[in-house]
Structure formats: structure tokens, C-alpha cells
Amino acid sequence: MTVLHLADAGEAADLAAFLSRLVHYDRAAAVRLQAHGTTLAVFGRPPSFEVLAIRTARLAKPYENGLEVTLDVTVSAGELLESVTEPAATVGVPGAVTGPPWAGVLPPRGGWRREPGLPAPDAVRAAVAEAVAEFRSRTEELAPEARTRGELDRVGREIWSRPIGDTGLPVRAAHAAQSLGFLRPVASVPGAPQGPSGESPLTLYSSGVWLRLRTPFGSVAVRRAGLGSLDVSVR
């Protein structure tokens, strides 16, 4: 088994926390790993959110395995989690699995430009809380015979597709980021970038049909609706 050496135990702990959340939502979750130089990128897709979650980790040294200078493989998230050793800051790469369709279509590596209109972190979290409360309220008001999967999905699509602030970022992307631990304040996290009042600096970027919400703890990427299948990065 190939063993990756992470920069420190904190990187290992953060990676394990991210994988734990993915497995919580889907025990059979798969992740795609890409290592370039001293950066390991882990891509996952939590079910129901319809987004890609991206967590990066710093490697202690540039990745190299024989004559290969990069790593690109899809593996079981649960097996990868089990191979993380926090004290030693290592993670073993389990055997490859047949990846789900999303694993073959990733956001582009470059060409990202910053998008304006994203509210402050507390406003983004408030928008998520309001959406969760509205979904619960509206579904609880439904008569038992009307509380079908189709109706719940319809209400959910209406609420979670709403844009945040003056952006095209849907609320579901921010909800996914919060559920994965990406929207938490960073005041108590050593070394994390500090924004006003200790809030995590959120940044929105776009590249082609993709929008990407980036935080110090990870990113969430989502395809913008209505733009077809243009500018798809298949790797």
C-alpha cells in the first residue's frame, strides 16, 4: 500500500474529520485523490446536496511513487479513513474502486476568477438556517397523505436552489459546506486566516459553468444551472 506522509498531525486530523462526515452521509462513499507536488486534493460528493466537496492537505514532501510524479485514483472513503494515522501524520492509499460517474467530471484546475456579491460568513450561515427552518415548517404543514417523496423533493428544490446574496450560488452549496464543517468560525483554530470578528473568510470563484465556495477548511463546487455541459473537465 502506498503511504502518504502529511505535513503534520493536524493535517491528518482534518482529513479524517472530512472523511468521517462523508461516510456519515454515505457509508459506501468513494473519494477521488489527486496528489501534485506537496498538495493532496480529496474530492467527494455527499448525497442529496448535488455538489462536489474538496478538501486539500499538505504533504511533507512532493509525491513520488517510482517513476510516477502524480497520484490520481478513486478509492473507498471508509477504507481511506481507516488508514489515517494521526500521530504519525500518515495515510495509506487503499486499492482503487470503480468510481461513480461524478468522479470522472471535476472542476477545472485553473481559470478561476473571483465573483462579487457573497455576503459575510454570518449572513451565509443565517441563510442556511432560515432555509432549514422553512423546509421543516413547510413539510410539517403537509397533510400525511400529501407528504410524498415527490412533494418533499419539490419543496426542497424550490428552497435549496435559491441564490445567496447577489450571486448564483445556491443555498444548497452553503448548506453542504456547513454540514461538512467548512463554515465554522476560525477564531479558535491556530494558524487559520482570520476575518472580521474571527469569522472564516469566504470567497466565491467561477470558472466556466462552475462556481466554487472556498473557505480555510475546504471548498464546495457546484455547476451552474442552465449552462448545459460546456467546459467540463474530464480527468
How far, in Å, CA of 67 to CA of 229, rounded?
35
pLDDT (tens digit per residue) in 49-60: 889 999 999 999
Residues of the chain with CATH 3.10.150: 2-106
How far, in Å, CA of 41 to CA of 33, rounded?
6
pLDDT (tens digit per residue) in 139-162: 999 998 988 999 998 998 999 999
The residue with cell 457509508 is: 27
Edge-first strand order for the sheet with 84-85 is 2-5, 90-93, 84-85
pLDDT (tens digit per residue) in 178-232: 999 999 876 545 555 444 444 458 999 999 999 999 999 999 999 986 443 333 3
CATH architecture of 2-106: Roll (3.10)
What rounded mean pLDDT belongs to the chain? 87
- Return the pLDDT at 61: 84
This prediction has a pTM of 0.85
